[in-house]
Every structure is written in C-alpha cells, then in structure tokens.
Structure 1
Amino acid sequence: MDNREIGTRIRLARRDAGLTQEKLAEKIGVSTVFVSQLESGSRAPGLETLVKLSQTLHVSLDLLVLGGAPGGDAEACLAALVQGRSPRQRMLAVSLVRSLFAEMDRLDAEPPEC
C-alpha cells in the first residue's frame, strides 16, 4: 500500500462528497491535521479509520486502498484518471466523454436493427 496514493484517493473522494477537511474530520472523529496528514500520505490510516472514511465518503474500501478495483466508485475512478493532467488534457477528456455519452443516448433511442 502506498500512503500517498491512498491519500490522493481520500482527497478526491472527500472533494467529490463536497466536504472540507474540517467537515470530514468532524464526521469521522479525528483532527483536521490528521485528515491533512492522511491526504498527503505522511500518515497511514488504520482499518477503523478506513471504514469510517468509506462510510462517510460513500466509496468502497477497495477504492480507497486499491484504487479502481472492481466494485469501486466510478466517479472517483474517473477523477483519479484525470488527476495530474493539464487543463487542456482534462477538457479534451470531458469533451470525449460527452461525445461518447451523446452517442450512447442516440443508440439507446433508436429501434434495434434486424
């Protein structure tokens, strides 16, 4: 387990949940400093903390510990994929996903071909 990677996934899940470090700390019963240390990878979360994070952030333990493992949270997985990319690359990814979803919607609306 890489503490930095786990910390990054915690940070992404926290942001996706719309929580500040302060609010997350309050909800799981730890200090804001501890949450900051978890997110930076300078401290490793114990099992009890991981369970509380998973429940509070509504993501699987697999996602927090292993990343995009099967059964993980798809939104957090997508966020992790674009992390570290340039703004231009992120916009291109968003454009591609929008186009993909538009095509899926179009295909779903058409009657099946025989």
Structure 2
Amino acid sequence: MCIDWKMVSKRIYQQRKKLRMSREEVAEKIGRVPSYYGDIERGTCGMSVDTLVALSNTLHLSVDYILYGAAEETDIYEQICRSLKNYDIRIQNRALSLMDFYLKQEVKTG
C-alpha cells in the first residue's frame, strides 16, 4: 500500500485546525522545529516513526488514520485515555471529576 503524503498532510492540517492549535504549538509538542513540521503539513516530506507517533498522540488520531485515512475504530475508553494522557495529573483528575459530575446529572435527568 502506497502512502499519499499529500493526503497525510491534509488529515494532519485538518485535525490541527479542529483542535485550534498553531503550527508552532504542534511542533513544540512533538519535539520538532516549526519549519520541519510545516514541511510535514504541506506534504513535502515524510516523517520518522517517532514523529508519526508523536503526531498521533498530540492530534488524538490513530496512526492508521494519519497514514491511510482508515476509519477510526477505537473504543471510547481509548479515546478518553489518548486525550487525557497529554495533560498533567491535576488536569486529568479535574477532567475525571467533571465527567463524573456530568454522568451523575444525566442519570438523574435521564
């Protein structure tokens, strides 16, 4: 299976915009210089496995989806974990408390 780097770049760009992150923010989170990340997002270069995994974690996308556009087939627990693992424990605990509060309200109003 051949990788279409232009489509890879499009999926990365769309997700970055959806998350309202700047190129510089993504570059910093994946540990790369902004110009290199910009090349990835424009589809003018490939990337290492380490960079791909870092992008997957930062943008909350599966590697399959980034590379091939394969439908996301992860369960909700994995999605929650992927989303929370980029934050420190204090923020994770706050998010868990909010989720518990919301779920209790849903049960009450059900």
Please classify the TM superposition score into its range, dividing by the shorter chain length.
0.5 to 0.7
Q: Residue 15 of structure 1 aligns with which residue?
A: 17
1:38-57, Cα deviation, whole Å (9 max, x unpaired): 01110102111110000011
The number of aligned residues is 72
Q: Residue 45 of structure 1 aligns with which residue?
A: 47
For the residues of structure 1 that align with 2:50 and 2:10, how far apart are their CA atoms?
Answer: 19
TM-score, normalising length: structure 1? 0.59
Where in structure 1 are there 5+ consecutive unaligned residues?
73-114
Q: Residue 102 of structure 1 aligns with which residue?
A: none
User: Is residue 25–residue 32 contact of structure 1 (8 Å, CA) maintained in 2?
Assistant: yes
3-state SS in 1 of match to 2:45: coil
For the residues of structure 2 that align with 1:53 and 1:63, how far apart are their CA atoms?
Answer: 11
The aligned runs of 1:1-114 (5 Å cut-off) are 1-71=3-73
Is the radius of gyration larger for structure 1 or structure 2?
Answer: 1
Per the TM alignment, residue 13 of structure 1 is displaced from its structure 2 partner at its CA by 1.2
TM-score, normalising length: structure 2? 0.61
User: Is residue 62–residue 72 contact of structure 2 (8 Å, CA) maintained in 1?
Assistant: no
User: Is residue 56–residue 62 contact of structure 2 (8 Å, CA) maintained in 1?
Assistant: yes
Q: Which amino acid aligns with 1:48?
A: D
Runs of 4+ in 1 over 6 A off after TM superposition: none
For the residues of structure 2 that align with 1:71 and 1:60, how far apart are their CA atoms?
Answer: 9
